[in-house]
A and B are shown apart, each in its own frame.
Chain A
Amino acid sequence: MNATDTAAFALTALRGYRTRTLLMLLAMAIGVASVLILTSLGEAARRYVVGEFASLGTNLIIVLPGRSETAGGGMMFFGDTARDLTLADAQAIERSARIRRIAPLSLGEAQIEARGLVREVPILGSTQSLLEVRHWEMATGHFLPSGDPNLANPVCVLGAKVKQELFGNDSALGEWVRIGDRRFLVIGVLASEGRSIGVDVQEIVVIPVASAQMLFNTSSLFRILVEAMSRESIAPAIEHIKTTIRDRHQGEEDVTVVTQDAVLATFDKILQALTLTVAGIAAISLGVAGILIMNVMLIAVSQRTAEIGLLKALGAPRRQIVTLILAEAALLSALGAGAGLVAGELGSSLIGYLYPVLPMGPPWWAFLGAVGVALSTGLLFAVLPARRAAQMDPVQALSRR
């Protein structure tokens, strides 16, 4: 009996018992689809986080005030700050051949008022280099002026959304806005979209760092962004930063230095593990589908006792009966897996459509994995029913009507 005939015969069996076939296809499809959807959710989370960090800039070193004992872990937290990180520290750090540019950051929240409209916005104090460090683009006007960062120029750059809310479609350039208790001249509007470390670029207002320090009445910095000359110079640059800070802070190395690469790699690993875990959970549902296939195949075998007895009488040896039942199970699993692939692809596209911020799309290994597990469980769990069928006594099978 050749393969085509075996498949054709199995197909007639599947078509002959439609309800059973549909139920089993459904179980298989749900299993496969859930593997795909869950892994693509996990992958989306990973890509999202990686994308967030990548948008911070390239060859980036982040200096935070305060010392955390475990390296790399203090990214999102503020340690006990022994000494403030100041603008003078930032300027001292900049003096190295390893470092292309730095951008001191000062962060606060303040009211911005223009034309009688008031809005509470995050205020970012920095210097001109921030534009290059963060790869931002301007929509109109200029970014902060270059020059001595200690000069508190009364100028500001608006995020796209802030500009839209305060000025509508009118030009904002040359207009005066009030931030806190000071007046600032709008010199530019940012074009950049997207988020970085929790702040929507469209919703911020950027002012010179000295102005921000005056506005918030502080001399400390939120952090310093340092762009190294190249990937290779990151390590010496970090050494330079630490030495400089030690020298300036009476021998205390009271800052935390994080590289974007390290953070990125860690998150990448964690989220990869998460995705695999979720995929594992989904694979269990596939296993359940496999057990379902076994049960239904067992029932199918006892339902079709007479048919199997007949096949034996017509000269099918045991092996052929086993092959026929396995072919049926394989066909079921394959069709179910196919339906599941389609459903999973649709499902993850739907989620991607509803939540555009998530870069959905199952990873390639999820396709292989889901289909592989579906086929192997389907076949594995059909072995028992197939053997039972092969062992059936044809005399008994045929004596019943």
Chain B
Amino acid sequence: MITLENIQRIFQVGDQQVHALRDVNLHIEVGEYLSIMGPSGSGKSTLLNLLGLLDRPTGGRYLLNGADATALSDTQQARLRRDQIGFVFQFFHLVPRLTAAQNIELPLVLAGVAGEERKAKVQAVLEAMGIADRAHHRPDQLSGGQRQRVAIGRATVMNPGLLLADEPTGNLDRASGHEVVGILEQLNARGITLLVVTHDPELGQRARRRIHMVDGAIVSDNGTVP
């Protein structure tokens, strides 16, 4: 599904060049469950952003479903993000003035899906996430775990093939963290490719494939294709 070839990402900080990613090669198959771990500044978030097409590599090639994603225009990348990729963030990033249902609906609205279809999809996702009774609450009326479930619902309502989670439990207590991980793993079990960036070794160990990064390079990978 994903192939990274010699990916470089260099940031210009003042007059210094920072190598956030050095020569990263990675192949991910459809339906895999990966965790990316490593200390702060090791480049794991940068890698996630590149995979999510929020950032462009300085060098190298990124093939998504066999097509070169680095060469795409802004609009084409946006369309891929919309249809293929779901994001889950540490700080949820829900729109505070919208209800849970409206937040989940947002990608459908942006995609121009018709009202009736939207309603049905949102309802299905709300039920799958177990928050149907909170549909008309705004984020500030929801608990952390509920917020993250809304965020996951929003990430999956377009049925993407790839789900990228950046410290999905980083801002949650233990119990709701477990719930959220459970939901993510269920989604993976149903075929979605799941990629989790985390500091938390316990969360990281749950993944079938574990990648460690240090200083912008992959130092260990227990997967089949290094």
Contact = CB atoms under 8 A, between A and B. Distances in A.
A233 B72 CA distance: 81
Contacts, number: 70
**Residue among A9, A398, A399, A401 with max Cβ neighbours from chain B (10 Å):** A398
B79 interface: yes
Tell me if B's interface is mostly helix, strand, loop or mixed: helix
Nearest to A14: B97
B101 to A, nearest CB: 13
**Chain A interface extent, by class:** 20 to 34
Contacts of A306: 93
Contacts of B102: 12
Given A5-B109, A311-B110, A394 B97 contact: no
A305 to B, nearest CB: 11
Nearest to B84: A315
Contact of A16 (B54, B97, B106): B97
Contacts of B106: 311, 314
Interface string A311-326: 1111111111000000
Interface in B101-149: 102, 106-107, 109-112
Interface residues of B, number: 31
Interface in A300-352: 306-307, 309-320
Contact of A314 (B82, B91, B97, B112): B82
B182 interface: no
Given A315-B81, A399-B45, 19 more contacts: A2-B112, A5-B109, A5-B112, A9-B109, A13-B97, A16-B97, A306-B93, A311-B110, A313-B52, A313-B81, A313-B93, A314-B81, A314-B82, A315-B83, A316-B82, A317-B75, A320-B110, A395-B54, A401-B91
24 contacts: A1-B111, A2-B112, A5-B109, A5-B112, A15-B97, A16-B97, A306-B93, A309-B93, A310-B93, A313-B54, A314-B82, A314-B87, A314-B107, A315-B107, A315-B158, A316-B78, A317-B75, A317-B79, A318-B78, A320-B110, A394-B54, A398-B54, A398-B93, A399-B45
In the A-B complex, list the 9 residue pairs whose CB atoms are closest, starting with the nearest: A315-B82, A16-B97, A317-B78, A401-B91, A317-B75, A315-B81, A310-B93, A314-B107, A394-B54
Interface of B: 45, 49, 52, 54-55, 74-75, 78-83, 87, 89-91, 93, 95-98, 102, 106-107, 109-112, 154, 158
